[in-house]
């Protein structure tokens, strides 16, 4: 399995500028650009393949490539809304696998594709990564993101705002931050 590729980024963030400003007790608009960048930093810290959560928050689309077929193909995320499976045939033409030939399941490790018995493993072209799963992932819109994740983001934004010049040596993620995200982290998957 190759590293997943973000193909369509989320169109919004779990925390709005107004929510962040309320949390920070900021009334003026002088620092809106800074606060917006802190929202993006906090979301990036948690979201997607490289984020601490190892999952997607707001709906986004990812591409997962595989070198060849397997009866069960693991996907890198939880909270998958849909999957379209394609492959490149021996002629270099991309083909779509009928959704009747596979089912997307979820277990404790996340989502995976399992093929029906009638699936015949078509030949994949000569290039590596000839099988592609396009996944729409995430909880949905900002309102669908769990409150605990949003609260953790606000704590993180507050820390970044307070220590914006430099991070002091003794400033570490709070126990509250860690406790809020713990139930949602996908570790060792």
**What is the structure's pLDDT at 172?**
65
Examine residue 2 and state whether it is found in any structural domain, yes or no: no
Identify whether residues 78 and 133 lie together within a single domain.
yes
Residue 141 tokens read as 């819109």
Output the CA–CA distances (angstroms, integers) from residue 59 to 6, 13, 14, 152, 164, in the order listed. Answer: 11, 10, 10, 19, 29
Do 108 and 171 reside in the same domain of the chain? Answer: no
172 and 155 housed in the same domain: yes
For residues 46 and 83, state if they share a domain: no
**Are residues 24 and 65 part of one domain?**
no
**Residue-level pLDDT at 166:** 67
Helix (H) or strand (E) holding 120: none
Residue-level pLDDT at 71: 84
Contact 124, 88 (CB under 8 A): yes
How confident is the model at residue 33, as a pLDDT? Answer: 97
pLDDT score of 168 = 58
CA distance 117 to 136: 25
Divide the 189 residues of the chain into consecutive groups of 10 and give the mean pLDDT of each group. 93 97 96 96 94 94 94 91 94 93 90 92 83 96 97 94 70 81 78
Q: Which domain holds residue 37?
A: 9-56+141-184
From the list 132, 45, 66, 57, the residue with the least C-alpha distance to 94 is 132
Residue 57 in 3-state DSSP? Answer: coil
Residue 15's pLDDT is: 97
Q: Quote the tokens at residue 125.
A: 């072209």
Rg (CA), the chain: 20
Last residue of a domain, one of 122, 137, 152: 137
Domain count, the chain: 2
Q: Is residue 189 part of a domain?
A: no
CATH number at residue 153: 1.10.3230.30
The whole-number pLDDT of residue 164 equals 76
Distance between CA atoms of residues 61 and 5, nearest Å: 9
Examine residue 39 and state whether it is found in any structural domain, yes or no: yes
């Amino acid at each position: 399995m190759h590293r997943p590729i973000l193909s369509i980024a989320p169109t919004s963030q779990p925390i709005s500028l107004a929510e962040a400003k309320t949390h920070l007790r900021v009334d003026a608009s002088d620092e809106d650009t800074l606060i917006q960048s802190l929202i993006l930093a906090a979301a990036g810290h948690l979201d997607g393949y490289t984020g601490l959560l190892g999952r997607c928050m707001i709906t986004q689309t990812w591409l997962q490539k595989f070198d060849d077929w397997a009866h069960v193909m693991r996907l890198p995320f939880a909270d998958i809304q849909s999957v379209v499976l394609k492959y490149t045939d021996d002629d270099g033409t991309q083909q779509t696998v009928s959704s009747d030939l596979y089912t997307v399941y979820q277990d404790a490790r996340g989502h995976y594709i399992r093929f029906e018995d009638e699936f015949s493993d078509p030949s994949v072209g000569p290039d590596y990564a000839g099988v592609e799963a396009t996944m729409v992932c995430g909880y949905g819109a900002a309102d669908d993101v769990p409150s605990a994740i949003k609260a953790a983001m606000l704590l993180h934004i507050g820390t970044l705002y307070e220590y914006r010049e430099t991070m002091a040596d003794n400033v570490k993620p709070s126990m509250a931050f860690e406790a809020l995200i713990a139930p949602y982290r996908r570790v060792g998957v």
